[in-house]
Structure formats: C-alpha cells, structure tokens
Chain A
Amino acid sequence: MSLFSCKSPETLPIGFVATLTGTHSEIGLEERNGAILAVEKINSLGGLQGQQVVLHVEDDQYEASHAQEAVQNLIDLDVKGVIGHMYSAMTLASYDMLQEAQIVSVSPSSSTAKLNGIDDYFFRIPGSDEDGYDVLVDYAAQTLQLQRVVVIYDAKNKGFSEAMALQVNKAFSGLGMEIIDPIPYQSGALETLPSVIDRALVWAPEGIVIIASDVDAAYMSQQIRKQNQDVVLMAGDWSRSMDLIAHGGKAVENLILFAKHSDESSSPVYQEFQNSYVQRFGSQPGFTAVLGYEATMLLLEGLKSSLENGISLRDAMAQIRRFEGLQNTLELNAYGDAHRPAHLIQVKNGGFERLE
C-alpha cells in the first residue's frame, strides 16, 4: 500500500482492518493513522528483535461480507496479529475466522457486550460503552430529570448499537422512566432520515439518545432541530468527532455525550504523540487515532514479549494486565477487555466541553 514500501526479508507482518470507506470511514482512517504511527515508531527504534514490522491494511467497507474477505486476505498473508475491527458488527462477522486461525486481534473500538467474558484470541482496549451509557442515563434521569427519552440507533452496526439501545432502555426503565421502543436507522439511507426523525418526535420526547456514527448523528440532529428546538440530544462516544460539529452545525450545540478519553491531555507521552501525528498526517488526532495507536502498541508489546519469551502471542497478550496508554493506564481483565472510566461532555460553541 505504501508508496515507498521497502520490504526486507526479516519482517513481521501484522494486519489492520477497519472501515475505511463510506460514511463511517472517518473514524477508521484515524485509527489506521494511529496504527501507522505506532508501527513507524517501533520500526524507527529498530523494530522487534531486529525485525521491521509491516502493516497490511484492509477495508471492511462496513459490510459483513467484506469484513470476512478482508480478514481472509490477512490470514493468507500470514500476519502475526490483527488490529481491528472498529465496529462491533464487523468484529462479530470475522470473529470465528480469526479464532479458528488462532490469530490474535486487538480492537481499538469494538465495544460489543456480546464478546465480554470470553477467553479467546480477541482483545480490545476501548473499554466498555455500557458504563458510558449508564453514566449518560443517570445524568438524563437524575440531573436533567427527563421523563421520556427515545433511542435512535444505527441498525447497520446492530451487534453493538442495538445492544446498547436495549441497555439504555433497560437503564431508563430501571429508573422508572417511560420506555419507547428504540428506533432503527439504516446508516447511509439519508432519504429515510426525515421519517425516522418523525417517528421519534411523534412521541414528543424530552430527550433523544442517538447511537450512531458522527455524521449520522449530525444529520439526525439537523433533522430534529428543524422541528424541535427543545428536545435534549444525547449520544455516545462513537459520535464524538469534529465531523459531528462540522456537519451538525448549530443543531448539535448542547448535545451531551459520554467520553472514555479526553482530547486534551497534558501527559508528555500524549503531547509527543500529538506532535508526531500532526507532523505525519497534517491534522489533529481525534480520540480514535489514540485508540488505533494504543491498540497497535498493545499488540506490538505482546508480540515483543512473545518473541523474547518464546511463548505464543495469545499467552503473551493474556499476561499483560496493565498497559500504559497515551492518556492513562489501562487495566485489562482476564478476558483481554480494557476498562476505561467514562465522563460526560457537551458541545458548546462549536467545541466539546466537559460537563461537571
């Protein structure tokens, strides 16, 4: 893929797979950039055990069939490990293939609850979104005193967003609120958006929780605000990006989200990362770039330990319980799932502000 790829015989191939095209590609591309930065950093320090790491990038096109095709390509390339996917639906689509091939994968952002607590070849660092939605629900119910909230979710990333939508509803019901069935929206089907929004607003909700990607969330917000200025808009970590604001315009002002990472960090490691990223890619890194970088670094740390100790990559990965991320230390449980504390943020004046 690289214009100036230079393959030496002593290389360690690893794979990267994410959604790199289509509406959802913004996050995937950022994650890929993070992964590239991590690999280039390791290589510039001499690689692993003197071997240069080569990153093979594949696009799952946010389609299950393409996800499987992409993973098959990586398996054929005999990669040592895989970073990806970013979306839970994609992760679930290729999960069995990677287990069967006994290839370790580290997901930067899949947070489907379906894979929680399984002892497998799958590792991830985003931290569970469940906690985040819990925080958001608590805030909506306790602080904002909302009585009726509608959930709209991206049906295309069903594995994740439907589960989350159900969990949100469950949490609301647990707090004694009125429950309305979550409304699905097929990402990319812009022409259906007005009717989806109509279906939501028909309930005259006090709040709407959007479980969708940044641009989808932006367009939904635009659509909602054309009809309703008062309803409280809420979204998950997934929607958090500058594209949300660019496409959402004033419609996303005051939108409340939870975040598992902060874009601002004073840690020197993060500052260094930020500088290299700007230099290398010409733009500021979003939190997904951080995730891509961290996921790759975690895989490379496991690979290094595996090479040094002569143990399998899976075992080496399983031994890693604490991992120094760019912003904080990640704790991984026995199943390779990282925990990250969530906090709330709000769109204010075209930017994100922490909500205290």
Chain B
Amino acid sequence: MILVIFGHSWTVNRAVVRLSVAKNSQVVQTLRQELNAFLESMESGLRDVGWMKSNGILSSTELDDYMAWKVENTHFLESILILDDQARIQQLYPYSRVFIGNDMSRQPFIHSLPHHQAVAWSQTVISPEDNQPEMKAVMRFRDFYVLFSFDLGQLFQPMNQPGYDEFGFVFLLDRNGVFISHPDEERVIFQENMLSDTSIQTFFANPQDEKQELLRNGSLLTLLRVPKTGWIIGFCQNQNRALPEIRFYRIILFIITSLILTASILMSFVALRRVVSPLKQLVGATHQVAQGDYSVSIDDSNIREVSELGENFRNMVVDIFQREILLADMNRNLDRAVKERTYELENSLTYLKKSQEKLVQTGRMADLGEMVAGLAHEINTPVGISYTASTHIADLLKRMRKLRSEGHIDNDDWDEFLQEFEGIAEILSKALRRTVDQVDVFKKVSVDQTIADKREFNLGEYTQEVIKILTPQFQDKKVKIDVECPPDYSIHSYPGQYGQILNNLILNSLRHGFTERKGGRITIQILPNENGVGIHYFDDGKGLNSEEREKVFKPFYTTKRSQGGSGLGMHIVYNLVTHLFSGTIECLPAEGAHFYMYFPFSETEVRTTPKA
C-alpha cells in the first residue's frame, strides 16, 4: 500500500513538473509569437510613416495628423519622432517645443544604425514621467529617421492578473537581464535584473542558446530568447505554490487508497469468514469421515462454490460409505482366497524344498556312486588277483594236505610248495598293496567330499589327484586334461568341496561337451594373486549357447533329463563357489565351455610351500 501511495505521489509530482515544463514552454513560445508580431507591427508602422514622409504624399501638417492618428490607434505607441539626416528632431507627436532640434545622433542605437531601412531597437529605459519601461525603435531612410517610442510596461500586464503568483507569471527581460515587465512593478521601476543567478548569467552570455529551464527555490523558470531585440521572455511557475495542491491531491489519494484498502480488507475478511467457516466444517467432517463416522451433516452455504463443495462432499461421503461396505466384503473374500492360496503355496514350497533337497541328495549320491564305481573298477583287478591268489593258496594247501596224508611229501615237494607259496604271497601282497592304495585315495577324496574339512593342500597336486580318480571315466574317450598351476602353491581351504567342483565340471564336459565325438581337451588354468585365486576352466566341446549360459547354474536345469541328468551338478558347483568359498563363478561365451571362478582367500588361507 505504501508503495502504491509512494508511487502515486511520485508520479503526481513528476507529472506536475513535466506538465509545468510543457505548459511553461508553450506559454513562452506563444508569448514570443505575440511579441514578434508586436515588434513586426512596430517595424511596419515605422515603414508606413517613412513611406508617407519620403514620397511627399503628405504635407507636414498632414503628416502631423497621420502621426497623431498612428499614436492614438497603435497600442503601446507613445510618440513618433522624425529626425533629419543629422538625427536632429524635426517633427514629433505629441509635440514638445523643447525637443525640436535636439540632437539624437549620439544615442547609441541611432549611432549604430548601419544602413537605409535598417531598424534598431534601443535599450529599455524607465520613463521619468510614468515610471514605465520605454523603448525606442528607429528606422533609417535616405535623408531622415523615423523613431517610435513605445511603452512596454503594459505589454504583458493582461497576463499577470492579481493572484498571478498562485499559478505562475510572465516576465520580460531586456538584453541586459533587467526586468522590462514583471507583475511586481517595483522590479521594473527599480530596474532589477536577474543576473545574480550564474545559470542565467551563462544564458545571457551565450546568445546562441534559445531556451533554458531552471529550477530555483521551488520555482520552475522557463526562459526564451527573442532574437530581434535580445530580450528574454520568462515564465515562472512557483512549484511551492503548486505543492499544497499536490499535497492536497496526495492526501486525497492517500485517503481514497486507504479507504479502498480498508474496505477491501474488510470485505475479504467477511468473504473469507463466509468461505472459511463452511470449509472448517468440511475439514471437521473429513476428520469424522476419516475416523469412520459417516453420520456427518454439512450446512448449506450461500456461496455457490462452497455450497457445491458441501454438496459434493455429502455425495462423496455416501459413495465412500457404500464402497467401504463393498470393499469390506471384497476384503473378506480376498483374505480367504489369499489364505487358501498361501496355504497351497506353502505346501508347494515345502514340497519343492523337499524335492530340491532330495534331488541334491540324489545328485550327491549319484556323484558318490560314480566315484564308487570308479573305485570299484580300480580295486576290482587287485581284489580279483588277490581272490585268485587266495584260491591258488587254497588249492596249494589242499594239495599239500593230500600229499601229507599220503605221506608222499619229499623235499622237492616242499621246495616247490614254498617257491609257489612265495610267488603267490608276493602277488597277493602286491594286489592288496594296490587295493590299500586305491582305498586310501578314495578315502581321502570321499572324506573331503562329504566333510567340509578345512586343511592345507597343494592346489596343483590336489587337482591332479582329483583328475586321477576320474581318469577311468574318460580314459577310453581319449580326453586329455591339462592343468596349469604354479608349483608349490598351497592353500588352506576345503579340498573336498574344491574336488567336487572340479569333478562336476569335468563330468559336465564329458557328458555334455564331448558327447558327439571321440576325445576332447580340458584346460584348467589356476592363476593365484594376492587376494585369492582365479581358475579358468576351458573345454573344446560343443559349448553353451546364451540361453544355456544364462540358465546353467539354475537348479534342475539340464539338457539331458531324458538321459538321467539331475540338473543339479552345476547348481551344486554354483552353491559351493558362492556360499562355501564366498567366490564368484560365471559362464563366459567361448567356442567350447568356459567357466571362470574366483575364490577370494583371507591371508591365512594362502600358503606358498617353501621349495625343498
């Protein structure tokens, strides 16, 4: 509001000043036109008199009459003088004996007249008779001069009525800055001037400047030069006088603005109350509805929008209530359905879990079975040999008992018996030795496979051992397995599980990679670093497509289900790598199969066996 009022009064002030400038400018321009017209009429008057005289149209008496007529009928014209070629007064109206013959040649304005028909304007003087400023204009003819003397005091008087200073006033300065006309006659009579102001001094000193506007002591002065006489027309607009008016308008403005503002605040307040109280009721109702109480009542408002809002709210409450009932029904049904489904799903899940465990178990058993089969194959021969040997011993012993009962045992028989027995014992010993060895290996592997036992082992050697156990399964297929591992590299970890991982990978290669051809090559690259060990497993089999790569670790995923694949081998691998070893495994796109595993080890798990 303050801004509005401030802005308004600033605008009013500016507008007043701007209007004053424009108005003053117009006033002085108009006055100059009038003044120029007046001066021109004087000039033409001079020319008329000169023409009458020079053409001898009129006799001296007639000229006197003409001059009298001219003075009487020309505004402001006081007297007409005719000077001879020496600038002595020859004839004048009004007549004065004293002046006839007076020499005026040394009046500066006459003195300086340059040529025939030129006009000169005198300085203004205060007439001793009537204390009014007077001026003379003189025109030179071939052998005489015509001189008008005219009164300037009344020139602008009509402009400056009493009370002039309320609105501004006009004044006229001669070329020396002295007042020729001013509503305060004393200024004219006492020939005061305006050159006390340096700006006005400068304006006077620069005749090329036509116009000047000045603000002085709250007065706006507009000065305009009259080139013909060097006079200055001035208009003084007293801004201080205008100030009460501005102040009055400002107060009116302030009151109006204040009234409007107060009224609008009151009206806003009333309107707000009329809007706010039903809204408050509505808000209360929403709380009620929120708490489940639908028995709300909304008063009607005479504001259409608010009334509509209330009506809509009531409708909304009814709708909500109906929907809530519906929803409660649906919820009850849904709850039941969800419970039923949940039960079903839980059952399925339990079943699935059990199946998964069973299958994993089956997988493991199958793996174990394969190993046992391998082992059986390995020890079959020595056990068979041992059996044969023991049978041979039994036969030999039977033969010796018969000979002893027959009493036909001689030294040669004993020698032969002993020699043969020694041979059998050696064979037996060798076979059993081999069996023991095989069982040892099996025990070692099988124990590691079933018990998560952490121990220190040489990774390269252990890898070779696992391969050795599996050899019976692939040696007829001409599969070659290369292991690249730095020697003397030991880790403290779970060898059995590591073995199972390798076992499953190799079996996978054999069962899936190399099925359609004879032979194949598997490369195992073991690349230890500071924090763990990375293992690349490659085969040059038929490889996996992208879908297979994506699903290879999922449980029960197999391409050989019809051939008895459990679909859990790679899942087990995945579980072991990720859970037991906290590592990662991925199947990378390659010509054959390419798995990359990384086993992060804590520092204590890494042992580099010192070289012997």
* Contact present for B177 and A249 (CB under 8 Å): no
Q: Return B128 CB to nearest CB of chain A, in Å.
A: 4
Among B107, B186, B190, B196, the residue within 8 A (CB) of A29 is B190
Once the chains bind, are B103 and A251 in contact (CB under 8 Å)? yes
A282 and B87 contact, Cβ closer than 8 Å, known pairs A1-B192, A21-B131, A222-B101: no
Chain A residues, Cβ within 8 Å of B333: none
Q: A246-B108, A281-B195 are in contact. Are A194 and B187 (CB under 8 A)?
A: no
Given A3-B194, A20-B190, the answer on whether A279 and B201 have CB atoms closer than 8 Å is yes
The answer on a CB contact under 8 Å between A282 and B191 is no
| Cβ-defined partner of A3 (8 Å) among B97, B107, B131, B187 | B187
Residues 194-225 of chain B, each 1 if its beta carbon lies under 8 Å from chain A, else 0: 11110001001100000000001101000000
- Given contacts A4-B216, A4-B217, A249-B102, A280 and B191 within 8 Å (CB-CB): no
Q: Distance in Å from the Cβ of B441 to the closest Cβ of chain A? A: 127
Are B193 and A246 neighbours in the complex by a CB distance under 8 Å?
no
A7 to chain B, nearest CB (A): 11
The answer, among B102, B128, B176, B204, for a CB contact under 8 Å with A22, is B128
In the complex, the answer to whether B126 meets A282 with C-beta atoms within 8 Å is no
A339 to B486 alpha-carbon distance, docked (Å): 137
Q: Which residues of chain A from 28 to 78 have a CB within 8 Å of any chain B CB?
A: 29, 32, 36, 40, 57, 59
Residue numbers in A under 8 Å from B102 (CB-CB) = 219, 222, 249, 251
Q: In the complex, A3→B193 CA distance in Å?
A: 9
Known A25-B126, A249-B87; judge A281-B107 contact (CB<8 A). no
Chain A interface size, as a band, is 35 or more
With A20-B189, A245-B106, A246-B107 as known contacts, state yes or no: A194 contacts B97, CB within 8 Å. yes
**Interface hits, B82-105 → A, CB 8 Å:** 87, 96-98, 101-105
Asked if B597 lies at the interface with its beta carbon under 8 angstroms from chain A, I say no
Q: Is the CB of B106 within 8 A of A248?
A: yes
Query: How far apart sit A20 and B197, CA to CA, in the bound complex (Å)?
Result: 22
| A-binding residues in B (CB < 8 A) | 87, 96-98, 101-108, 111, 126, 128, 131, 175-178, 186-187, 189-197, 201, 204-205, 216-217, 219
Could you list some 24 contacts between A and B, CB below 8 A? A1-B187, A4-B196, A4-B197, A4-B216, A4-B219, A20-B190, A21-B126, A59-B189, A59-B190, A194-B97, A194-B98, A222-B102, A222-B103, A226-B101, A245-B106, A246-B107, A249-B103, A249-B104, A280-B195, A280-B196, A281-B176, A281-B177, A281-B193, A282-B176
List the 4 closest A-B pairs by CB distance, nearest first: A249-B103, A282-B176, A23-B128, A222-B102
Contacts A25-B126, A32-B190, A249-B104 known; 16 new A-B pairs at CB < 8 A = A2-B192, A4-B197, A21-B126, A21-B189, A57-B190, A194-B97, A215-B128, A225-B103, A245-B106, A246-B106, A246-B108, A249-B105, A280-B196, A280-B201, A281-B176, A282-B175
The residues of A with any CB-CB pair to B shorter than 8 Å are 1-4, 6, 20-23, 25, 29, 32, 36, 40, 57, 59, 188, 190-191, 193-194, 215, 219, 222-223, 225-226, 245-251, 279-283, 350
